[in-house]
């Protein structure tokens, strides 16, 4: 590394408006700032992210968030060496807001502009936080994504498998809705599950009998709905303990599917990966995290979970992906389009359905 690189990152592909400044110097990377302005309250009344509301909020707030990121970092645009922006996949209105701002700033300052795939941002985060070497296995589990990636290089990813329908975070959110718990569903279902019996409702473990590491979570939500309705039909309602047991049963099923498929993904890699890294909001779940750690330990693969603020959507990961690309000599360009769909691995089969972020990557 011959010189320090300082990048501004911009992220607006779902419901977080984010900007960050990351610097790579001789002593390694440093996150100088990472500002994230969430939109949970704006979408709360609708039970999901409304693309038009998200796009408008990004357009209105991005300028301020970028200014904050520069102020907190204590740098001006004069000290920025390049701009990295999420160019997809995601909700296209939001992605466009970020791309237009980044294009404007880059043109005005004559700075290199690096279009970044949001999933690459997540996938390279373990190198920002822990400097791990390629190849490593990454499990991305959030409200919008669920996939196993073998990360071989800055620009080489093999998608080993993923969900064929809902993402696990989406399933947690829908479960919370079905049981009258607050959004986001993950934390509220988890806190109920702690007090419940995970064995009372033996929910299905979809696709465990199938080879490979594809997963399915939408049937689980339907099974939970049926169990809830059966209780209502039988007793006229559900008790507090019923709800805890339903949450515990659901969480146990998600955890077991993720753990077993993770074990299979490790086997599929052949050569032992340097680590199993997780990212995404669902990785915050203690039961699921413990199950994944146990799988890693059994396989003799180090387990790595970046701090939650870097596991969930943020712009530091986008700035870092930009630094990695510039450092690897990968071209930066103003000649790119924003993409609602942008698979990391073109050889992997297309995913069905549509998640919180719109069309699946
Ligand atoms: O990564 P993230 O912040 O945003 C994207 O979806 O990209 O993930 C949010 C998702 C939500 O669906 C939320 O319910 C879930 O992660 N989540 C959890 C937990 N905390 C957040 N799911 C299970 N257990 C949790 N403790
Ligand atoms: Zn994400």
CATH of the domain at 185: 3.30.420.40
Kindly report the average pLDDT of the chain as a whole number: 91
pLDDT at position 359: 47
**CA-CA-CA-CA torsion sign (347, 351, 356, 358):** positive
| Per-residue confidence band for 354, with pLDDT thresholds at 50, 70 and 90 | very low
**Which residue, judged by its Cα, is nearest atom 6 of ligand 1?**
143
| Closest approach atom of ligand 1 to CA 167 | 12
> Is the pLDDT reported for residue 106 higher than 50?
yes
307, part of any domain: no
pLDDT at position 341: 87
Which ligand is located closest to the Cα atom of residue 312? Answer: 1
Per-residue model confidence as pLDDT tens digits over 189-209: 999 999 999 999 999 999 988
308, part of any domain: no
Q: State the residue range of the domain holding 30.
A: 5-129+313-359
* Cα 194 to ligand 2 centre (Å): 26
Give the pair of three-digit tokens for residue 319: 């700035």
Same domain for 236 and 338: no
Same domain for 124 and 80: yes
Same domain for 320 and 282: no
* Cα 169 to ligand 1 centre (Å): 5
Which ligand is located closest to the Cα atom of residue 39? Answer: 1
**Spatial contact of 272 and 302, defined as CB atoms under 8 Å apart:** no
| End residue of a domain, out of 301, 323, 351 | 301
94, part of any domain: yes
Per-residue model confidence as pLDDT tens digits over 280-300: 889 889 999 999 999 999 999
340, part of any domain: yes
Same domain for 213 and 167: yes
Which residues face 303 on adjacent strands? 276
Same domain for 237 and 98: no
* Cα 170 to ligand 2 centre (Å): 13
Answer whether the bond into residue 89 is a cis peptide, omega within 30°.
yes
Same domain for 286 and 338: no
Number of domains in the chain: 2
* Cα 13 to ligand 2 centre (Å): 8
Same domain for 214 and 169: yes
Same domain for 335 and 190: no
**Which residue, judged by its Cα, is nearest atom 19 of ligand 1?**
186
């Amino acid at each position: 590394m011959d010189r320090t690189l300082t990048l501004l990152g911009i992220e607006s592909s779902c419901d977080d408006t984010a900007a960050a400044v990351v610097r790579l110097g001789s002593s390694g990377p440093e996150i100088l700032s990472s500002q994230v302005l969430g939109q949970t309250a704006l979408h709360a009344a609708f039970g999901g992210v409304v693309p038009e509301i998200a796009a408008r909020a990004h357009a209105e707030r991005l300028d301020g968030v970028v200014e904050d990121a520069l102020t907190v970092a204590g740098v001006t645009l004069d000290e920025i060496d390049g701009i990295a922006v999420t160019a997809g996949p995601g909700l296209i209105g939001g992605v466009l807001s970020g791309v237009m701002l980044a294009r404007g700033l880059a043109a005005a300052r004559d700075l290199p502009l690096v279009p970044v795939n949001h999933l690459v941002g997540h996938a390279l985060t373990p190198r920002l936080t822990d400097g791990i070497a390629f190849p490593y296995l990454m499990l991305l589990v959030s409200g919008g994504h669920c996939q196993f990636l073998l990360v071989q290089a800055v620009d080489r990813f093999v998608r080993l498998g993923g969900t064929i329908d809902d993402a696990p975070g989406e399933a947690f959110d829908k479960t919370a809705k079905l049981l009258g718990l607050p959004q986001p569903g993950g934390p509220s279902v988890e806190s109920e599950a702690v007090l419940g019996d995970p064995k009372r409702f033996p929910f299905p473990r979809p696709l465990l009998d199938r080879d490979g590491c594809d997963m399915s979570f939408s049937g689980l939500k339907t099974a939970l709905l049926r169990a809830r309705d059966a209780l209502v039909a039988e007793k006229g309602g559900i008790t507090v303990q019923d709800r805890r047991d339903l949450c515990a049963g659901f969480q146990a099923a998600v955890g077991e599917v993720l753990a077993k498929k993770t074990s299979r993904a490790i086997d599929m890699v052949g050569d032992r990966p340097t680590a199993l890294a997780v990212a995404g909001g669902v990785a915050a779940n203690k039961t699921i995290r413990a199950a994944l750690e146990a799988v890693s330990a059994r396989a003799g693969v180090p387990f790595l979970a970046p701090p939650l603020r870097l596991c969930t959507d943020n712009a530091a990961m986008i700035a870092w992906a930009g630094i990695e690309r510039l450092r690897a000599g990968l071209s930066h360009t103003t000649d790119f389009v924003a993409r609602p769909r942008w698979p990391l691995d073109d050889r992997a089969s297309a995913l069905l359905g549509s998640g919180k972020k719109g069309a699946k990557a």
